Amino acid sequence: MSSSMLEKYLLDEIGNMALREARARFERELRSRFALETISCMAPGSLAEWPIEEQAPLFRLLPGVEAAIGVQLTESFLMLPRKSVSGIYFPSEGTFFSCQLCPRERCEGRKARFDPDKARTFGLSPDREVS
């Protein structure tokens, strides 16, 4: 691996670490501010049933977001700057990860094991195709 490739990799990993820390702080603030014990979140593109194209309606719910925080949505529904994330947080009785509904076996970002019973509870076929 060349030094420039190593540098790019390390910078990307530093960005991932910063993103994880920012999300953890945001979640702590939500719990504290709204007296929530448990929260869960989902994001467009995390499941075939909520495709990445759903970023557009989500962004429309927050008019002026680009001016307010500098995040913009590209024509391919990715966000700039890189390492930006979107989604919804909601109070829940137990911790929920959309990964529990996704049968894809190889996923670098997987936070929980696939749960076929939970998938059926949400009306999803446990053996459906994933993209």
Write out pLDDT tens, residues 32-53: 999 999 999 999 988 888 999 9
Looking only at the bridges linking them, the beta strands covering 88-91 and 79-80 are: unpaired
Q: Quick one: pLDDT at residue 25? A: 96
What are the φ/ψ torsions at residue 88 (nearest 5 degrees)?
A: -125, 145
59-70 average pLDDT score: 90
Give the tens place of pLDDT for each residue, 109-126. Answer: 788 888 888 888 888 877
- Burial (0-12, 13-18, 19+ Cβ within 10 Å), 93: exposed
Q: Quick one: pLDDT at residue 129? A: 61
Among 13, 88, 90, 3, smallest CA distance to 50 is for 88
pLDDT at 131 over 60: no
Tell me which H or E stretch contains 13: helix 3-33
Amino acid at 28: R
Q: Quick one: pLDDT at residue 1? A: 63
Amino acid at 71: V
pLDDT at 130 over 70: no
The Cα–Cα gap between 36 and 92 comes to 9
The whole-chain average pLDDT of the chain stands at 89
The Cα–Cα gap between 85 and 43 comes to 8
Q: Which residue has the higher pLDDT, 108 or 130?
A: 108
Taking the domains of the chain in order of start, what are their residue ranges? Answer: 1-36, 37-131
What does pTM read for this prediction? 0.76
Looking only at the bridges linking them, the beta strands covering 39-42 and 79-80 are: unpaired
Q: Which residue has the higher pLDDT, 54 or 107?
A: 54
